[in-house]
Amino acid sequence: MTVTAQQTRHPRSPRPAQGGTPARRPLTGLAAAGLGLALLLTGCASQERVCGSGRYPVKAVGNNDGQDCVADGQEPPEGWVRYPAGQVPEYVGDEWDRHWSRVIVDAEGRTTGGLVPRQPAG
């Protein structure tokens, strides 16, 4: 039996997939994974700060939802108090921001016992 050139099959070399040669695909995946890890590790950088640079947060007296910012070096205006040291909210939604949004304080900054019930998630 005679085999012609048309009948012979030669394996083709694999064509590069879209996006580069097969050797580059793992590097692209590795780079994407590295970027994802970097974003996770710097998650705080993407959070919104309660106050901008040169300002500190203060809490309204007599209600649970009043919060404002005062310039560093200035005292809070009447009707506002400083947060206790170590319990100052830094980022919107952080532990202390959530805590103080449920607490009512008096003019001395003491909690009045008036806690606002937590709203169900949803």
pLDDT above 60: residue 16: no
Question: 53 Cβ partners below 8 Å, 6+ apart?
Answer: none
Report pTM: 0.57
Q: Which tokens go with 56?
A: 């500190």
For position 46, what pLDDT does the model report? 72
Which phi-psi region, left, alpha or beta, contains residue 65 (left: φ > 0; alpha: ψ -120 to 50)?
A: alpha
**The tokens 């939802």 sit on which residue?**
65
For residues 83-112, average pLDDT: 94
Q: What is the per-residue pLDDT across 80-96, written as a single tens digit (0 to 9) for each?
A: 999 999 999 999 999 99
Q: Report the distance separating Cα 42 and Cα 50, nearest Å.
A: 18
